[in-house]
Structure 1
Amino acid sequence: MMDTKNFNQLYLKDTSFANLMQKRIFNVLLIASRYDAFMLEEDGRVDEQIFFEYVSLNLSSPPRVKQVNNFDHAFYELSSKRYDLVITMPGIEKSDTFEQCKNIKEKYPDIPIVVLTPFSREVSQRIGNEDLSGVDYVFSWLGNADLLLAIIKLIEDKMNAEEDIKSVGVQMILLVEDSIRFYSSILPHLYKFVLKQSQIFSTEALNEHEQMLRMRGRPKIKLARTYEEAIAIYNKYSNNVLGIVSDVSFKHNGVKDKKAGIEFCSYVREHDEFVPIIIESSEIENQTMALNLNACFLDKNSKKLPVDLRKTILRNFGFGDFEFVDPDSGEVLYTVRNLKDLQNTIMSVPDDSLYFHGSRNHISRWLYSRAMFPIAELLRRKAFTDISESQEVRELIFNAIVQYRKMKNRGVVAVFKRDRFDKYSNFARIGQGSLGGKGRGLAFIDSLIKRHPILEDYQGVNVTVPKTVVLCTDIFDEFMEANNLYQVALSDLPDDQILRYFLRAKLPDKLIEDFLAFFDVVRRPIAIRSSSLLEDSHYQPFAGIYSTYMIPYLEDKYEMLRMLSDSIKGVYASVFYADSKAYMTATSNVIDQEKMAIILQEVVGTQYDDRYYPSFSGVGRSLNYYPINDEKAEDGVVDLAVGLGKYIVDGGRSLRFSPKHPRNVLQTSTLDLALSDTQTRFYALDLKNMQESFSVDDSFNLLKLHMREAEKDGSLRLMVSTFDPYDQIMRDGYYDGGRKVVTFANILQHDAFPLAELLSMMLEFGSKEMGRHVEIEFAGTLPSEENKQGTLYWLQIRPIVDTKEMRDDEVFDLPDEQTILKSNSALGHGIMNDLYHIVYVKTKDFSSSNNMLIAREIEKINRRFVEKGKNYILVGPGRWGSSDTALGIPVKWPHISNARLIVESALKNYRIEPSQGTHFFQNLTSFGVGYFTINPFMNDGFFDEAYLEGFEAEEETRFLRVIQFEKPVVVKINGKKNIGLVLKPGIVVERTENTNTI
């Protein structure tokens, strides 16, 4: 029986086409009289002829040709410049060409030398008597410019054959022929054919760059001119011979042997029963011997020999379409044009046809000719010796193609093609422009996973990127210009009016069929995410500034199309909303320089009746600014929640842990904390909400539900613990009765899913490859009936900007009277000494019911700071940026964009856990903004509000005071120790002359 175990290891190593054809011919020295050169160039310069040949065949790097008239000039050129090939044309009169070639060879032994001679009987006779030891090849010039291309490619193949054939299994076609005239005629046809075929097959590649590289995997052509040379080449590369074309009469043991070709082909047949052989001869009686060797026969005297040869090679060497035939009748049962066709067909091919082709290596030869070496290698190694193995072979071929296509799709930004995009496709682009920041991040993740195969199968769990198509920035340009939208977009119209104008505009018609093809493959809800040029760039990430919509999957494709196009227009419009414009101003960017790409991505999750959400989603960072116990800052930190990630973005109560210490979770360390400080609500996509018009609010069709709803869905099993109110204990796991508390205990404490290990690797690989600390977003589905192992989806990666190093003695333990603020939970790193303003929320009579009003006041004050180009320190109770007003003041980033230090304080009657899960985190680190958490009532930090009350306010509102000092206050933060303080103005401490950066 066929051993199909462990077939993954046999071929899943991808072919590195970039490493093929490393040795190339770039400079050619042509030695010829003016007359001979003119004969060669009558159709134009040699350079141009070669260039046009290269372009027509989609080849790169055409060589340059330097022509000289004599050998003296040739030796001068060779001494002053590197040449990769010398071609010389001897004159008709007696010349010392071959002697001079020997001289060149002695001095430059590594440079191939070719003699190109006009064809005539006299010339042939004369060459027969010459000493050819200084010459690699002799060709006869028949007036065909293709010969120059063939010469160059033959030499390149000779230079690269050993490395390329042995390293990845590139195939070889062996031409055995001693007639100069004949191989000078046949080689150009052979190369033209092989290059054209490889050009056709390269369309299996996923983008233009891959196509160019893939052509390097074309079969090599080797020329043997004697029996000994043919045997040596065959023995060396016998496992990689695609086919053989052989003459019958050539030298054997130094003497012309009229049956040398038959003897050579007999030798080959003894070693390989099925390798295709074409025997060509001018003596028709050799046909019988050819047929006895199961070889094709071609008559050299035929006027249509090149055509016959091309057809015979096409039919026998694995080129062209693959035809499954009935072995008895010869009837064609299936015609396979490409790999996808083979995948779709293989299960239907009858056993006898599959056995006929499989046992003769036809299928592997066809794959080899297309440079699909990993699958071809696998199939050739699996001997198919009995028809009873047909089903195993069928499954092997099918699974091999699936694995191969997954491997080829991984890490490649493919050009979207409707007929190619299927469930094995991963990442494609529509358009020629930029992918935008998030798009680049996703493409980087995809390639990173390919470089770290442990992520593709860790304890049976697969880390992957959701199926993604990016609309590049040129589609945005086309949309804006075709609909004349810039005038409206750059105006001061309200957001909802800008959105209305955009929704009335028209997307390019060419996208409709692409979208429908995408729907057919994904068959899940789709997220429409922004990916602007400036988003997630290293020093000014625009995280959370633009809209992200989600639409349900519908059977009515045209209704889905309407929702998708409205969502795309909604994301485009969000570039020009007031918040975006304010953010642009704050970051000194120009709004009309922003370009938007759009990411269309399957939404990770499972459908539960009329709602859809993932088991969990989260954000991870490779640098932890709030380490506890034995955690280190470099161990990283993760925020994890049930449902859609918007819950974390909005500052909801997620579970926070270090992936290197998953059992060390502060929020579940005591019963009180677990009951009071864990997730109680989650977000899901509403699959019923089909309202006609889209809203500026991109979450209009998201449901914020109580965790009890997820319990009804049966989606919480591995993610909760059960509180037993009678025994007042928390039991890890899901049990009937009792309150369900989101602790992820089965995953983090009991290893039901290797989430912590995978996240730790993702952060480690991500920061290593980016060369800086990173933030990642992810979501996952836990094991279920249809997905036995579960899947972890990596949604985003972005850099956290490098922090400046600071000496450990930079922050001093100063007495309280010298400071305004002290924090033992400080985020950031460095010194700021140019701040003159503090804006703080008055704690007297504070009530969280006023948080929305406070947010509006802060927005107005921040706008004035933006206009003046000044910065300030912002202090307030609860979580900044929380969308839940009970937890904090619901500001958005543009409303506090000029704050350089943000402080979250707790009050006696208002103690909220510090926030660390919002999009602010990325903006803070990127803009060098400090972040303090203080709780003076628990002796954790210090805030001297009484000191500030002693100053007259520059501005005072119902809830806020703005204080301006004559001298700057100095902020110092040691991010490694998480200590931060704000000195009172005029307090001088050592080393404060440092930079104002954090």
Structure 2
Amino acid sequence: MSHFVTVNLQTANPMNSPSIKKLYFKDTSFANLMTHRIYNVLLYASKYDAFVLEEDGRIDEQIFNEYTSLNLRYPPRFTLVSTAEEANALLAERKFELIISMPSGDSINPFEWAKSVKLQFPDIPIVVLTPFSKSVSQRIANEDVSAIDYVFSWLGNSDILLAIIKLIEDRMNVEEDVNSVGVQVILFVEDSIRWYSSIVPHLYKFVFMQSRSFMTEALNEHEQMLRMRGRPKILLARSYEEGMAIYEKYKKNMLGVITDVSYSQDGMKNKSAGINLCKAIRLQDSYIPLIVESTEEANHAAADELKAAFLNKMSKTLLLELREKITDNFGFGDFLFIHPITGEEEARVQNLRGLQETIFSISNESLYYHVSRNNISRWLYSRAMFPLAEFLKNINVDNDVASDLTRVRQIIFDAIVHYRKVKNRGVVAVFQRDRFDQYSNFARIGEGSLGGKGRGLAFIDAMIKRNESFENFEHTQITIPKTVVLCTDNFTEFMELNQLYPLALSDMQDEDILAHFLKARLPQQLIADLHAFLGAIASPIAVRSSSLLEDSHYQPFAGIYSTYMVPYNPQSRTHMLVMITEAVKAVYASVFYRDSKAYMTATKNVIDEEKMAIVLQEICGNAYDNRFYPSFSGVARSLNYYPIGAEKPEDGIANIAMGLGKHIMDGGMSLRFSPAYPNNVLQTSTLELTLRETQKFFNALDLNETNFVPQVDDGFNLLKVPVDDALKDGTLQYIASTYNLQDNVIQNGLYDGGHKVITFANILQHDVFPLADILKEVLRIAQAEMGRPIEIEFAVNLDYSPAKQHVFYLLQIRPIVDSKEMINEDIGAIADENAIITCKSALGHGVTTDLYDLVYVKPEAFSAANNPKITTEIERINRQLIAENRHYALVGPGRWGSADPWLGIPVKWPHISNARLIVESGLSNYRVDPSQGTHFFQNLTSFGVAYFTINPYQQDGTYDTAYLNAQPAVYESDYIRHVRFDKPIVMKVDGRKNKGVLLKPE
């Protein structure tokens, strides 16, 4: 029987009764479809990977909705294991229809394990779901994947899990279902893991969407059900022979074919295999829809000859175009609140959120009618929301209920709110304007993804609640700030509402793109939600990018998009709303800035796949006259490739600075220490170093900037404040020391007179705040739960009152990719004369053998006055080398990426994104310390970029400039030389020993 509301059938025209009987008969037939189903999935992954798939993606809910449409009662159950031993034990005692394995560094190697599983359980499909990167692709190419049914690539979107399940179920059921009722088949031929992993989830989305739109044309709900149960199957082939075999078997029921052009035919890669397939199919069927997709525009003509639609896979709008082609070529609900007396439709509900929003607006008669007949609980059962359905089914409503209906509405509303909170493990609540208040902590607006930062914050919040040890720090609360995430569907709606894609994808200047976005309007409902959010806030708000690809495992987009800080205006919530909406639109615009597009190209991503969520977050800190800032901020990493003294790489590293964290992200001076050795701080080890290498300025939000007009530079309303100016704010008490000029000594603490120096001595040495212990615990637990080395951002508000209620805010978490490639030789033993550069402070790990280009800044050209010109030249060379698909080594004086032009050349990551070795070289007049905390540090580790710091004038590494100057230059200016070698300049880095070398060509 159908689980849908039966009111339509009850009021059906009696003349149609034979048809209804016929439909019931067909229903019996359709009930026999999909007899081979996946009930239990063994998910072999780290806890963090499972969290991303099951929490942020809410994959259960997506699968439940799909199963509802198929009238299936038992959606798959996911069982998580994180070791091979756990997996083997469960396989021995329980039945699984599918195994999904997510490799996590070297801790999970699914290929060898899969062979042993296949010997015992040959019928269980095994799928490897792996992050997409060059190193992973190379690894898979060298692996024996004979025991693996499919390898899919994790691109940051949890839709892939639904697609995997449906693809395997379709393969299991297609023969029986086609033969029994003539279910249609879509053939997709593609051998690239990266491409079919991106396209297959979208194919399923298109099929489901179009099937649902088609079923609305049905005569009644039963027919709607039948139409959905007969949705087309999607079959994936990865070679000409496999594709042709599927076509021959199901050609009478083939809805259409989508094919790449270059893949295996007759056991060899054939650049025309897809065209050959289409020709063979066309000989048998002149009218079957064919869609040819290729990275080569030259194949367009061949597709036209075959009357096939053509798609360029390198198009920025590939997925939109694919959707249009399927719609054009393949030709392909809801809960109704009905008034029982008039029979009129009062409301149409598509999802649980819709029910929540509608429950207070429908009439008493309609509510009583549906509640008394259990129609609402039946609808929820059909969508596999079992606990909520069971609860609402037990609501008893008597005949005389008019006075009780207000209570019934509230019960239903509260039950939905509670269910959603439980669904998200008590982490992410659904934002409701009349429910979000000062006691709320984390909510989402929209149904899409939380994006990278939002996902990380949700994970942090869950981690804090799971680990009671975080409560053991007396006088200190560890938490996340009050947060609301605008999910990615808001971005899509905004872009489509204002028809912004054409100009956003154009080559328009950043300022012009921003201007167009600021003129656009946000959806009215979102504005109303933001207004309600502001009613629960009493501090400035950070409007932060949280893109779908940002902070993903292998492709973090850290620092690429904008973050705006909006001052608090207690006098006018309307004025605050205007500033917030402007900031939201400006963050959306930053997706399409020139630097962002360059970065997307460098990471081989399609900008059309990028979706932007936005994190709205209370800024940690307090107001002091015209400025607002926290006591201090920091970045900590669980892996340290710059260990000093007794420190080990696995001890981790932290950088802290007074004020807002943007100071650290922009490469400003911060204090660096290992949480395991908080007393060993290099920068404060001598008087001279302390005075020279400690923080002189800090960032604060300018509270006078009340006319908030976003600029491309998102730091336009931040103040750069001298440290001494904070004396009157009373914020230096625990973090500053005093330099006594007369005695030429530094005293820990604040004393009258003397220059104030940011040493954090009272915190690190005298433990007035347990920072080191907190960081050790956070890094230990976070790394264990994410299954890989991690980086966190944090801010601290110190309480100077007798109560001492300090707050440690975790702001962000992201993974660091730790390459395990073995270095078998002693790099330090390589003779200097064989090397262009040798380094004793190397960041990175591994061997690179495909470098032929070296770009270096002439040491004598380093001057703050020349830096803008140098930056422009480097950007131009980088862009050219991207176009030529050539990586290079980059050498220059000072700190790369520093916001202070006196410390180095202020490039951003997109300006140097194709470099695979970046070298900071000290000059004779000053020594440059290893640059840590710059905003592209995360990108260096993720893309395997090596980073050398050398000071040849102090015998700290070598740099053979004479050798380079003697080489012919591809390009030379007053400031830069670009040298290209005929043979590779091999780079070797031993990150555990911090040694690196760039060899002269042999």
- Same fold per superposition (TM over 0.5): yes
Q: Give 1:860 deviation, angstroms.
A: 1.5
Letter in 2 for 1:465: I
Q: Counterparts of 2:699 and 2:425 in 1: how far apart (Å)?
A: 30
- 1:926 matched residue in structure 2: 942
d(CA) in 2 for partners of 1:574 and 1:758? 35
Question: Quick one: which amino acid aligns to residue 535 of structure 2?
Answer: D
- Contact 2:928-2:951 within 8 A present in 1 as well: no
Whole-Å Cα distance in 2 between the matches of residues 478 and 336 of structure 1?
Answer: 30
Are 1:840 and 1:876, in contact at CA under 8 Å, matched by a contact in 2? yes
In structure 2, the CA distance between the partners of 1:954 and 1:409, relative to structure 1 (3 Å rule), is closer
In the alignment, the residues of structure 2 paired with residue 508 and residue 868 of structure 1 have an alpha-carbon distance, to the nearest angstrom, of 42
Tell me by how many angstroms 1:441 deviates.
1.1
Find the counterpart in structure 1 of residue 543 from structure 2.
Answer: 528
Distance 1:44 1:485, change over 3 A: closer
Which residue identity is paired with 1:500? Answer: A
Alpha-carbon contact 2:417-2:430 (below 8 Å) kept: no
Query: Within the alignment, does 1:469 sit opposite 2:496 as a pair?
Result: no
What is residue 900 of structure 1 aligned with on the other side?
916
- In the TM superposition, residue 851 of structure 1 has moved relative to its aligned partner by 2.2
Matched, 1:570 2:586: yes
CA distances 1:799-855 after superposition (whole Å, capped 9, x unpaired): 111313314535351111111111110011100011111111112354343222221
Q: Which amino acid aligns with 2:513?
A: I
How far did 1:693 drift?
3.0
Q: Is the 2:634–2:664 Cα contact (8 Å) retained in structure 1?
A: yes
Residue of structure 1 in register with 2:952 after alignment: 936
2:463 pairs with 1:448? yes
**TM-aligned CA deviation for residue 193 of structure 1:** 8.2
Change (3 A) 1:407 1:680: farther
The whole-number CA distance in structure 2 between the counterparts of 1:60 and 1:450 is: 37
Distance 1:426 1:198, change over 3 A: farther
Instruction: Give per-residue Cα distances to partners, 1:244-294, cap 9 Å, x unaligned.
Output: xxxxxxxxxxxxxxxxxxxxxxxxxxxxxxxxxxxxxxxxxxxxxxxxxxx
User: 1:823 & 1:214 partners in 2: Cα distance?
Assistant: 62
| Aligned with residue 720 of structure 1, among 730, 733, 736 | 736
Deviation at 1:532, TM superposition (A): 1.0
Residue 754 (structure 1) aligned with residue 754 (structure 2) = no
Which residue is equivalent to 1:294? none
Which residue number in structure 2 is paired with residue 821 of structure 1?
Answer: 837
Q: Which residue of 1 aligns with 2:629?
A: 613
Of 596, 599, 604 in structure 1, the residue corresponding to residue 615 of structure 2 is 599
Residue in structure 1 matching 2:512, options 497, 514, 517: 497
| Preserved contact between residue 545 and residue 579 of structure 1 (Cα < 8 Å) | yes
Pick which of 819-828 and 912-921 moved more: 912-921
Give the deviation of 1:750 after TM superposition. Answer: 1.1
Letter in 1 for 2:928: I
Written as runs of structure 1 = structure 2, the 5 A alignment for 1:338-349 is none
Tell me which amino acid in the other structure corresponds to 1:535.
E
2:874 alignment partner, one of 848, 855, 858: 858
- Return 611-620 or 779-788, whichever deviates more: 779-788
| CA apart distance, 1:525 | 0.6
CA 1:720–1:370: 2 relative to 1, 3 Å = same
After superposing the two structures, state which structure 1 stretch, 643-652 or 843-852, moved more. Answer: 843-852
Q: Would the aligned equivalents of 1:619 and 1:776 in 2 still touch at CA under 8 Å?
A: yes
Which residue number corresponds to residue 122 of structure 1? none
Match of 1:739 among 751, 755, 758: 755
Change over 3 Å in CA distance of 1:219–1:841 after alignment to 2 = same
Distance in 1 of aligned mates of 2:731 and 2:373: 56
Superposition pairs of residues 380-779 of structure 1, within 5 angstroms:
411-554=426-569, 555-691=571-707, 693-779=709-795
**Which AA in structure 1 matches 2:523?**
P
Alignment-mate amino acid for residue 702 of structure 2: D
Q: 1:558 to 1:371 in 2, by over 3 A?
A: closer
Q: Following the alignment from structure 1 to structure 2, what is the Cα–Cα distance between the partners of residues 863 and 408?
A: 46
C-alpha deviation, 1:371, in angstroms? 13
CA distance in 2 between counterparts of 1:657 and 1:815 reads 33
Measure, in 2, the Cα distance between the counterparts of 1:655 and 1:215. 55
CA distance in 2, matches of 1:692, 1:545: 22
Counterpart residue identity of residue 629, structure 1? G
Letter aligned with residue 494 of structure 1: Q
Contact 1:411 1:444 in 2 (8 A): no
Counterpart-to-counterpart distance in 1, 2:478 and 2:393: 36
Shift of the alpha carbon at 1:711? 1.6
CA distance in 2, matches of 1:855, 1:927: 22
What is the rounded CA distance, in whole Å, between the counterparts of 1:812 and 1:701 in structure 2? 47
Shift in Å at residue 486 of structure 1? Answer: 1.2
Report the alpha carbon displacement of residue 514 of structure 1 after superposing the two structures with TM.
1.2
Partner of 1:782: 798
> Which residue number in structure 2 is paired with residue 71 of structure 1?
none
Tell me, yes or no, if structure 1 residue 915 matches structure 2 residue 941. no
The answer to whether the Cα contact below 8 Å between 1:410 and 1:446 also exists between their aligned partners in 2 is no
What is the CA deviation profile of residues 384-408 of structure 1, one whole-angstrom value per residue up to 9, with x for unaligned ones?
xxxxxxxxxxxxxxxxxxxxx9999
Residues 371 and 483 of structure 1: CA distance in aligned 2, closer, same or farther (over 3 Å): closer
Q: Distance in 2 between matches of 1:372 and 1:897?
A: 46
Query: Corresponding residue for 1:8?
Result: none
- For 1:650, the aligned partner's letter is D
DSSP-derived class of the 2:920 partner:
strand
Q: What RMSD, in angstroms, separates the aligned Cα atoms of the two structures? A: 3.7
Choose which of 863, 875, 897 in structure 2 pairs with 1:847.
863
Q: For the Cα contact (< 8 Å) 1:409–1:424, is it kept in 2?
A: no
Instruction: Measure the CA separation in 2 of the matches of 1:701 and 1:605.
Output: 16
User: Quick one: which amino acid aligns to residue 590 of structure 1?
Assistant: V
Shift of 1:737: 1.8
Q: Which amino acid aligns with 2:578?
A: R
The equivalent position to 1:879 in structure 2, one of 895, 908, 912, is 895
How big is the shift at 1:690?
A: 2.4
Runs of 4+ residues over 4 Å off in structure 1: 41-48, 58-64, 192-200, 208-221, 319-322, 335-341, 369-373, 405-411
Give 2:556's aligned amino acid.
P
CA deviations on 1:783-806 (whole Å, 9 max, x unpaired) are: 144973211111111111131331
Within 1, Cα distance between the matches of 2:802 and 2:532?
A: 24
Change (3 A) 1:216 1:971: farther
Name the amino acid aligned to 1:857. Answer: E
Q: Which runs of 5+ in 1 are unaligned?
A: 1-40, 65-81, 83-188, 222-305, 323-334, 342-368, 374-404, 987-998
SS at match of 1:954: strand
TM-score relative to the length of structure 2: 0.60
Could you tell me how far apart the structure 2 residues matched to 1:406 and 1:675 are?
A: 51
State the TM-score, normalized to the length of structure 1. Answer: 0.61
Cα distance, 1:548 vs structure 2: 0.6
Percent pairwise identity: 56
Larger C-alpha radius of gyration, 1 or 2? 1
* 1:551-609 deviation digits (Å, cap 9, x = unpaired): 11112111111111111110111111111111111112222221111111111111111
Match of 2:354 in 1: none
Paired AA for residue 781 in structure 2: F
- Give 5+ residue unaligned stretches, structure 2: 1-20, 32-63, 75-94, 96-367
For the 8 Å contact 2:421–2:427, the answer to whether it is kept is no
Query: In the superposition, relative to structure 1, how do residues 46 and 499 fare at CA in structure 2: closer, same or farther (>3 Å)?
Result: closer
Letter of the 2:692 partner, please give it: S
Q: Distance in 2 between matches of 1:408 and 1:712?
A: 48
- Report whether the alignment pairs 1:868 with 2:861: no
Aligned match of 2:963: 947
* Letter paired with 2:508: L
